[in-house]
Amino acid sequence: MNTISSINTNRKLIQVFFICFSFLQCISVSAQADNFQVLINKIQQFSKPARILNKHIDATGNGPVEFTNAKKQVLRFRLEHHKLQIQHGGIAYQLFYYKNDYLEKIQTFDVNGKLAGEGESKNESGVVFIIEKPNLYLKKKELIDDAEGNIDLKDDTNEKIIRVQLYDENNMPIPEFQPTYISSKIYWNYNVRMYWP
């Protein structure tokens, strides 16, 4: 009888342990979701509600997180020791705007959710992508897609396929003497969010 009673007691203890462990996991996930909600709420241009698209946070609280929403926007940022990491030039967030699976615009923001310029470039806080030759880009995109991005294409900037318009921290166009074009491969990299500030 004592052996059976001891086994039943051990089973109950194990069940209580697993219930407590599951409860703590739920609290941890809920706290993390609340922390993320505070972070994404700082970016007013990002439509809510949102859901996690990708999250690669290691045990020490370091790594990137991406959110998406019904408007096909993607908001991303990095954590460092569970806190928002400030990237180069004071940039903390990147917001990607897509239409029909093509990247239309990227904006960058500081920790307070204000537009922040990319100081190492032309101090732009926004980049709008205009595909001027869509059929030609589709051919190039197919080659890049087939190679899963691992292809060295000849720089096609001079073919004037994709033009960019830069915007400053006041969301005003940065004047240019002539249009700026980028290569199909660079645009593809932006489209799949390979670039960090």
pLDDT tens digits, 148-163: 888 888 899 999 999 9
User: Residue 71 carries which DSSP code?
Assistant: T
String of DSSP letters for 79-139: EETTEEPP-GGG--EEEEEEETTEEEEEEEE-TTS-B--BTTTT-BSEEEEEES-HHHHHH
Structure tokens at 114: 């204000």
Q: Of 80, 70, 82, whose CA–CA distance to 46 is shortest? A: 70
Q: Report the distance separating Cα 129 and Cα 132, nearest Å.
A: 9
Give 56's contacts (C-beta < 8 A, 6+ positions apart): 63, 64, 65
User: Residue 175 carries which DSSP code?
Assistant: P
Cβ atoms of 68 and 53 closer than 8 Å: yes
User: Residue 1 carries which DSSP code?
Assistant: -
Out of 26-30, 48-52, 113-117, which region has the weakest mean confidence (pLDDT)? 26-30
Q: Which residue has the higher pLDDT, 6 or 187?
A: 187
Q: What is the pLDDT of residue 18?
A: 46
Q: HSE (CB half, 13 Å, CA atoms) of 50?
A: 27
Provide the residue ranges of all domains of the chain, joining segments of one domain with +.
Answer: 1-41, 45-191
Residue 30 scores a pLDDT above 70? no
| 26 confidence band (pLDDT: 50, 70, 90) | very low
Out of 1-5, 48-52, 168-172, which region has the weakest mean confidence (pLDDT)? 1-5
The SS3 assignment for 177 reads: coil
pLDDT tens digits, 99-146: 998 999 999 999 999 999 887 777 899 999 999 999 999 999 999 999
